[in-house]
A and B are shown apart, each in its own frame.
Chain A
């Protein structure tokens, strides 16, 4: 889920393929517009780390290539 707008009272608007929803960001610090968050029952639980995401994909690609 991508944060597209910060709202009052520790809420934020998120977008999932164009569907928007107001969620709570009270459990995570320093959320900015453009951040991706892990969402569970209406609450952001953590922010997605873009570098780690790329590192994971690179490892998967490397392993997938070892047999070909």
Chain B
């Protein structure tokens, strides 16, 4: 397909790798965090780490929406779905995320809760219209990419005067998470630069990342999702460091503009406001890192409508998802990885989503991991 195939050209990627090896200085390390789970997946799927010089190392970041949702919010969603009046609509990748007590949305569904997988927020609106006797709640998760679709669904519900539609809002913000990671740098994580998100940046543009360069002195390159995009972004980061530059650069110019998508930003700003603080798996409480519905749209807020409470729940103590999401550990550092925890029987969230670091490692590189271990 156009705009995809040409960015997956293996011969070209090997050429980029040779040129990268020529400019990477052998007397230093280059440690880059790819923030976004889409990049984590691409790096594993296309074996990009094998193309990089040994002193250029990728650290997986927390940009996997399913992975960073704390277990208490899944517990809260399951409690909501158990309300006999409620139909809970959710993106499919949340279904198997482990909750407290060995529970998950898919087990709750098997036990009789009305939980339905949807592709789009508009599907949830359609269900609410078709079944006016049901209380349809949408389990909204994700970064700046999934927030505008949730905002549009709420606007649509208001226009259609749908009184049986609400949103359990868990939308989170990329720059706030980057700030939290940079603020805790040194606690097992050292980062020389960021491969910045693709689709998130299509929405928010280039400016929200300025603090990464200006306050924390780290270069950041917004990167497309295809393997050549990621390779070129790594080259641009190495060049910045070699030239002692520290800037926000945009490799993904074909989809990301400086301003981003102003229409989507306006929709989000109209419907959502900042939460003072929100819990992230791995990062803990992060100030101003998530959104909730404004009072004007409070009627569509499932947390208010159903008095949803978020229990203070603990992860499986043996699971290293938290440290992996901070970049402090790698999947094969976890003793559960590939033994009791696999995509079929995930113990932690990073093994569930295809964007999770553990799932990517298991799917594409688990045999290599076994070689390292033996």
Contacts and interface: CB of A to CB of B under 8 A. Distances in A.
B308 interface: no
Nearest to A62: B19
A38 interface: yes
Interface in A17-45: 17, 23-24, 26-29, 36, 38, 40-43, 45
A41 B263 contact: no
B1 A17 contact: yes
Interface residues of B, number: 44
Interface in B1-23: 1-3, 6-7, 12, 15-16, 18-19, 21-22
A41 B12 contact: no
A4 B252 CA distance: 24
B12 A27 contact: no
Contacts of B224: 56
B256 interface: yes
B121 interface: yes
B263 A27 contact: yes
B264 interface: yes
A29 B254 contact: no
Interface residues of A, number: 35
Contacts of B199: 38, 40, 45
B166 interface: no
A68 B152 contact: no
A26 B22 CA distance: 46
B148 A61 contact: no
A58 to B, nearest CB: 11
Given A17-B1, A43-B120, A48-B3, A28 B263 contact: yes
Interface of A: 2, 16-17, 23-24, 26-29, 36, 38, 40-43, 45-50, 52-53, 55-57, 59-61, 63-68
Interface of B: 1-3, 6-7, 12, 15-16, 18-19, 21-22, 91, 119-123, 142, 145-146, 148-149, 152, 199, 202-203, 224, 228-229, 231-232, 235, 251-257, 261, 263-264, 267
26 contacts: A16-B1, A17-B1, A24-B149, A24-B152, A27-B148, A27-B264, A41-B145, A42-B120, A42-B123, A43-B152, A45-B199, A53-B254, A56-B229, A56-B252, A57-B6, A57-B7, A60-B16, A60-B228, A60-B232, A63-B16, A64-B15, A65-B19, A66-B19, A67-B19, A68-B15, A68-B18
Given A59-B232, A67-B22, 14 more contacts: A16-B1, A24-B122, A27-B148, A36-B2, A36-B3, A38-B202, A40-B199, A42-B120, A43-B152, A45-B264, A56-B232, A61-B12, A64-B18, A66-B19
